[in-house]
Structure 1
Amino acid sequence: MTWTLPNILTVLRLFAAPGVAIMFLYFARPWADWYALALFIGAAVTDFFDGWIARAWKQESKFGAMLDPIADKAMVIIAIAVLTALSGMNPWILLPATVILFREVFVSGLREFLGDTAGTLKVTKLAKWKTTAQMVAIAVLFAQGVFEHYVVMWSYGMDEQMFRDVLNGDVEDELGLRMVYDGYYYSWFLGVILLWIAALLTLITGIDYFRKALPHLKESA
């Protein structure tokens, strides 16, 4: 293996995947949320640049082609597992997360069974959009965790009526609680919507992959 820049970025992204979960073991919230968000966004950005650099600099390699989808799946699976736990197994997170995790495991197992034949099943543009939707949804939901912590912290000691009065503008909002609450509210709904879109794209691409693999499975029988 040659340590080209694209390969280095891919390896760093692979190591960043478990780092997202580790942040919540060694840091208190909201710092864990901030670090996990920064680490995930940084890793997601390398997903674009390693492929772009490899093509532009003609540094594409078998190692990179093998490791790139593994790094992507590790990032998505670990981050979704963390978000599902942080949400308290909220069904709006759990259901699309289950679809995404099932598809990734199923397709990975199918690829392993097909062996060298799997290389003939090219990644489609829809699959790339699927990955993008997953990563954007995950980043937004990590941001929602940051907003949630500050909403709780800045409203500490308020009763429900006072909290509503601050949000409605009846009481002076000295800390900017309204802005933080809006960030929490809209990032939650946007993140959930994006996650369901990602789950739908994940399901469609999984079915498409299985359909394309069927002829190869019949030949192997």
Structure 2
Amino acid sequence: MLTSLPNLLTLARIAAIPMIVALLYLEGATARWLALALFVAACVTDYYDGLLARRRNEISPLGRFLDPIADKLLVVAILVMLIATGEIAGVSVLAALAILAREILVSGLREYLGALQVAVPVSKLAKWKTTAQMAALAVLLIAPALPGLPALLLLGLLLLWLAAVLTVVTGWDYLSHGLKHMTGGA
């Protein structure tokens, strides 16, 4: 059901991505505040689309397909833009690359295991990873709009590194699970 409320929320999250990216090209605090507002709205829809789908019994194959794609597109687009604008620079680019690599790895793993009809449920730690990512991205999005708070950028980068560590741990967990099925050890 493309027009179910949960799927519409997911589609809205995808539609917000080009707007956030466009705002990151603009100079000034207003553009950053608007980008943050859209990002926070996208994060809220990520929470509510799944919750509503379960409560309203509207879980659909389309929703199961689109939701993780919307999440990954949002994170990847913002990470790439923050690297391009220099908010993520130097050694912190490695944290962003770890996050990007894990997203690609888990997507490929889910696709492979899906063909084998093996489910890869989201772990609690992966939910914490997502929370750390979203917090890091929110802080990094708004830090340039608040130059009087230089510690804000440092906080954003520390949260990015926390997300990267959780990313590596959860990525390894998913890969270990997947390898059992790939090598016949399951």
> TM-score when scaled to structure 2?
0.91
Q: Root-mean-square deviation (CA), in Å? A: 1.7
The alignment-based identity, stated in percent, is 44
* Residues 46-105 of structure 1: per-residue CA shift (max 9 Å, x gap): 111111111222221111111111100101011111111222652243121011011111
What's the offset of the Cα at 1:2? 4.0
Q: Report whether the alignment pairs 1:78 with 2:77.
A: yes
Partner in structure 2 of residue 13 of structure 1? 13
What's the offset of the Cα at 1:114? 3.0
Bigger shift: residues 207-216 or 115-124 = 115-124
Partner in structure 1 of residue 183 of structure 2? 218
Counterparts of 1:130 and 1:16 in 2: how far apart (Å)? 22
- Quick check: 1:111–1:118 contact (8 Å CA) kept in 2? no
Partner-residue secondary structure (3-state), 1:28: coil
- Quick check: 1:18–1:75 contact (8 Å CA) kept in 2? no
- Quick check: 1:127–1:201 contact (8 Å CA) kept in 2? yes
Partner in structure 2 of residue 38 of structure 1? 37
- 1:58-73 equivalent positions in 2, closer than 5 A: 58-73=57-72
One-letter identity of the residue aligned with 1:132: T
Bigger shift: residues 132-141 or 33-42 = 33-42
Counterparts of 2:2 and 2:178 in 1: how far apart (Å)? 31
For structure 2, the 5+ residue unaligned runs are none
Q: Report whether the alignment pairs 1:140 with 2:105.
A: no
Aligned mate of 2:164, from 199, 202, 207:
199
For structure 1, the 5+ residue unaligned runs are 149-180
> TM-score when scaled to structure 1?
0.77
One-letter identity of the residue aligned with 2:174: Y
- Quick check: 1:21–1:78 contact (8 Å CA) kept in 2? yes
Counterparts of 2:14 and 2:24 in 1: how far apart (Å)? 18
- Quick check: 2:110–2:120 contact (8 Å CA) kept in 1? no
One-letter identity of the residue aligned with 1:55: R
Partner-residue secondary structure (3-state), 1:128: helix
What's the offset of the Cα at 1:129? 1.1
Counterparts of 1:188 and 1:28 in 2: how far apart (Å)? 17
Counterparts of 2:13 and 2:114 in 1: how far apart (Å)? 24
Partner in structure 2 of residue 93 of structure 1? 92
One-letter identity of the residue aligned with 2:100: L
What's the offset of the Cα at 1:109? 2.1
Counterparts of 1:29 and 1:119 in 2: how far apart (Å)? 47
One-letter identity of the residue aligned with 1:111: R
